[in-house]
Structure 1
Amino acid sequence: MEHLINPQVKNIEISGIRKFFNMVAHMDDLISFTIGQPDFPTPEHVKKAGIAAINNNFTSYTHNAGTIELRKSACDFYEKKYGLRYNPESEVIVTTGASEAIDIAFRTILTEGTEVILPGPIYPGYEPIIRMMGAVPVHVDTRENHFRFTLNMIKPFITDKTRCIVLPYPSNPTGVSLTEEELKEIAEFLRGRDIFILADEIYSELTYDQPHTSIAGFIKEKTIVINGVSKSHSMTGWRIGFLFAPENIAQHILKVHQYNVSCANSIAQKAAYEALTAGFDNALVMKKEYMVRREYVFNRLISMGLDIVKPDGAFYFFVKIPDCIPLNSFDFALRLVQETKVAVVPGSSFSNYGEGYFRLSFACSMETLELGLNRIEHYLKRW
């Protein structure tokens, strides 16, 4: 029966991040710098809110868009943190993680043959959805611009088929963010054009050198903002995301969401409400520790002579494989894990423009970072 499977589904692959993680997860004494999730536990007060929801039998369907208390808290969070106002009644949808928010956004705005412009390298979760819609991903090589997806890089790729531009900042895998001025330039250029912006801001609370700026602050009327509590409150498994958009856009996305999952998990919604209210600044504790780790990893990688761009957000380094090593990124990562038991993600997982690099997550303890970097350093010296 396989010949009856949708060709668009048959032609996509499992995420390279997960593929490599699954390949090496069984190894003993493995140091993994692969999966992008905080190594901190979900805050105790948030866990207690989830337990209370179960004990109070809050286990039924909620409004399709999520409980009104959570929607209000999400809108309040965004206004206080980033100066953006959204109507909790009609301009925010609580989703099953940021991943579902991306999915329902693309399924609402894309049609056959339309084009989506994305920076490369980029997180692999966008392209498969775009292709399943019969749309065309158009990657822009940002490597020579220190991974910065600025207006001058976008302009040459605009066509009459362009439907959406993806701005995933802070970036996975590079950790790069765009400045307020760079975002403003993009917004002004797009103002009179029929092009959506999908702003994936899931790492917005983890910025180090400058406060997070959302492009929705300049051009809200055509921007779909994606966020959630996974990275900000160490709640990856709770699967709560948020989609913010003007009502005339959100009302259609809500229909897709409704037929996809009905509503997000009711228990997790209660926990997320606690996270955004009592835990308004929970990310600051993690952020402080990440900044210490970032400095340590940066100095170690520089001392090894590696070519890197210092991340100003998220918790990744995107590292160029030395020219003296005649291996593609997958083979490099495979040899590294086989010979040193240190796992990194091959750069090829993040589009063709990630080839020649590897991603290293510093969302792990200093002890683990030191041991893993020692092994990497010894491995590199063999070449």
Structure 2
Amino acid sequence: MGEPALRVALLGCGVVGTEVARLLTTQADDLAARVGRPLELAGIAVRRPGRPRPDLPVDPALFTDDATGLVEREDVDLVVEVIGGIEPARSLVLAAMAGGASVVSANKALLAEDGATLFAAAEKHGVDLYYEAAVAGAIPILRPMRESLAGDRVRRVLGIVNGTTNYVLTKMDETGAGFGEALEEAQALGYAEADPTADVEGFDAAAKAAILAGLAFHTRVTAMDVHREGITEVSAADVASARAMGSVVKLLAICELSEDGQSVGARVHPAMIPRSHPLASVRDAFNAVFVDAEAAGELMFYGRGAGGAPTASAVLGDLVAVARHRVGGGRGPGESSYADLLVRPMGETVTRYHVSLDVADRAGVLAAVAQVFAEHGVSIDTVRQRPLGDGDDAELVVVTHRATDAALQATVEGLRGLDAVQGVTSVMRVEGE
């Protein structure tokens, strides 16, 4: 084309970084045609630059362990950050921006913890910050929310954004397995890490929920603002109970605007959703995000939420976008936090609940249980009771109408104080109805 190449610094060469480097090399001609100028790797920052990488078709001389020196080079136009974590990623991204480079990042943890600092730096230095790959892998969800729905009012975002937990819950639903057994299978197949804490305790999904809520409601939301519960307490009995009421258990990221439009809520927790809901059919390690907007109505985005190639697809999409801006002399949209809405506490969240109790199987117990619900203003929708074994105990399952989380928690404490209640075995929210 005759135009000088745009120089790309790649920070990290793990599963995703390797695939990004491969695509930049093997699809160089197509990418140049789409951008208007060639994209050329300036360097790849890794911990061990001398490690053999025979399957990666790039010049070994490109590898360096001096990440700071790489991003501060004057000939670097674009920086791709796929190392993850908070530091040194934050310092490297800020240094790149200060040097005039636009940044593409897949770092959900950094964006959810300190996105405001990154957006401010991008604005100050007149560069782009794109991060589609930070949420839901290959699924294009962030840019549609940031750009395509910019003229609409998003009311709710409901998503399955963690493949590990979705795989575990799918296996529990399909086979009747317990949490531990399903997790072991996920680890054996490579769907779960050796230490799965970030996934099964909801930290990964909470970071993604913070990013989604910030975009949806034009308000700064951090991971600390997101109520988080994982799936470690979900039992085979919970999954069976969901099946009995025509539902399935999913770990959901839920971001919603209050009815008066004055506050937002962001939460991650397991919930029962009807099998008729579109998210109920999202199985195994797939992700999906369901968006409800005022004018557009209901939209769903579905696909592979992790993995080298899917995530690299999102990175390359962002890279082409910011490279086009560099060629054309413009910039993409920056942070939109003008609404600055209150992030409400979990206690004010309103939803339905599925409560399982072990109770004495005798007359008057149901009335006593119903009285506790009534005292706290929680209305009962349905009640199901069945004997437990040959003894004098029974399982009592109560599904409520909509109530605040605070009222439900007070109800649970009241139930635990009843002589006839041996235990509150499960409390799970009911969504998607």
TM-score (norm 2): 0.27
The structure with the largest strand share of the pair is 2
Larger Rg: 2
Task: Report 1 or 2 for greater relative contact order, CA contacts < 8 Å, sequence distance ≥ 6.
Answer: 1
The structure with the largest helix share of the pair is 1
